Structure 1
Amino acid sequence: MRFSSRVGSTRLNRIAEAEAAARSRGIKLGTVNDSNPTRHGLAPKEVPGVYTAEPRGPLSARRQLAEFLTKRNLEETSGGRNPLASVDPDRLYLLSSTSEAYTWLFKLMCDPGDIVLGPKPGYPLIESIGGLENVVTLEYQLGFDGSWFIDVAWLRALLESPEGHKVRAIVLINPNNPTGSYVKPDEREALVALCREHGVAIIADEVFFDYSLEPFTGNRRLAGEPGALVFALDGFSKLLAAPHAKVGWIEVSGPDDLVAEAQRRLDIIADDYLPFSDIIATRMPELLAAVPVQLERVRQRTRTNLKCLHAMLDEDTAGLVSVLRVEGGWNVLLRFPSVVDENALVLRLVRDFNLTGQPGYYFDMTENGYLAVSLLPEPEVFERNIRAVLAAVSKEIEA
């Protein structure tokens, strides 16, 4: 496994060596340059307490999160027993968002010009962040044959090619957005083995994992996977259906030696940014307690609207629009005749129905004729939106 040269010298200077030796003997060192005002009685009453500057996030908050994740893992495991279900708080990093997590991990794994693989169709965030980090993002295509699948053979050929050594990480979005496809068990097994063989890290974005719709059996989180170096991303933005709840986390797993080296370097990045506020940490218990109710609330909404969508399409006599199977998430892809230009359809929605939308090419669909639709609106609004789409497609066919 090759980490970036941007982070983490392998050699300590003499002072750092002496400090480490003292700590190993149980000596707690004072310092003549302590510039933390909270340790000198200067904190305001509005922000009490002593700031401990823990790079991974306050330990109390990580322990609370680890307890929540462990309980969730056990509930998801048949029989309630799983030796891999326990989450170690020392392998968690708290930060403001999964977007920030991507930037940290690109810094950790990639020198400028190295490659990160991301799925297409997919949300364009990875390319945007990659550009900001001077990282090359290369797409791997998801295919559709009644359900979406990953072309593992293509990925293997790429990693075995002359350019393969530049690939430092692969992003697996589980389930993907907007296709709603989970990583299937056979894909997972093959990809973990492939990444372990070629020294490639897995960045598993699992923010939509809990929102299953029409899943196949056997799908599992990549969080906690021991077979390769895995950085699993999640956060309150989706768990609480609250994008303004800016709390995300990284869970690191894999072979112990790789995890230790990755965390040594990731700690440096975390210490440079220190993004997680102690003020937010005090709210962790109530935010975690709110997750089950919010999950169920959103599940009911998305499943109700998906059922409504199927009924409306079945009843539509024109039969011009279909919906691709969606295994999980908040969005679906509608399919309409490719003779209808995607831009023209959205422009008609704007002009005739005061609506707009995201055509398939926004997500790099390889063919014309797709529209992404959210399952989150209130049922009456959702039904009105779908009726507008059906009418707009019919008008474009007639035009």
Structure 2
Amino acid sequence: MSRLGLVINPVAGLGGAMARKGSDESDIAARAAAEGRTPLAPLRADRALQAFRQTSDLPILAGPLATEGTTLTGPGAVHGTAEDTAAAVAAMQGKVDLILFAGGDGTARDICAANADGVPILGVPSGVKMHSGVFARSPERAGRMAAAFLADPQRRTEMVEILDLDEAERRAGRLSARLYTVARTPLDSSGARQNPKAGGTDLVGEMDAALASYVAGMAADTVYVLGPGATMMALKDRLGGGTLLGVDLAEKGRVVARDLDESALIARVDGRRVRIVLTVVGGQGFVLGRGNQQISARMLRAAGLPPIDVICGADKLAALQPQELTIDTGDPALDADLSGYWPVTVGPGRKQVMRVVA
């Protein structure tokens, strides 16, 4: 009988809303607990398993001894360190046909290092960045993909890149993803799995003019929440300078606060007229939920679900496969409400309408 292996990294994603740019710091769990934050990865894994159970009753092996269990509350179902992950993956060798894991790029690297038999793996997106192509675009899609793969006698797979941010470059304020290895993952022909992050293009010509036009049209009575990324950094430079990887605030034509976490954002936008300004993750199409978890469902609701402006070059949009943008705030109800069709600024006075999905 086919079996699914389950690995969860409970600290994955904790650093997102805390503006830590990742969750690799050794004290991240303690910091999160001090702020009253709940681990997100078990909740996202539970969403994936609920989707899995809609069509599959196959056994699930979890824990450092790879014992059978179908709930996240069973003994050993949750792991916290790279050593825990390696022990669980090692125990699953020869026992499972697919490893479903809840974590981020760092967890994917740890799993690949311990996966001696090359068991196919699939990620439930639960980290901060997730540049690798092994992740489904949402927990529900991960669960459905896992069920479909295990039900398919052919078990078709493909090799994808496992990427992660260069930590030295990140500390220096530069965004640079490194290729660490490749991994086997279920073949995807439906767009359920995200593509690896692609590099950006130079901000010249129409995009530079589009940023200038946007700045000229900023309202004096509005506070602007500016997301991370190279396009946003070019916008922030026109407003006095901000952070490449952080979420900053601007008003009256200047950046007034830099690298804010979720709590600070909520405090600063309360009772104000707000606009959110974001760009698109190259190659992946994500607008919310990848590297900008400070702009959380909680923050968006606190701000009264303000308008969201997306600025992105037409060439980057044209390269997306499938031709759509994706949101993953962690709140399925909000994601459903926000889905639809959004205008994207691609040049001065030029917009392109894109389908937005969860």
TM-score, normalized by length of structure 1?
0.30
Q: Which structure is higher in helix share?
A: 1
Higher relative contact order (Cα pairs below 8 Å, separated by 6+ residues): 1
Q: Which structure is higher in strand share?
A: 2
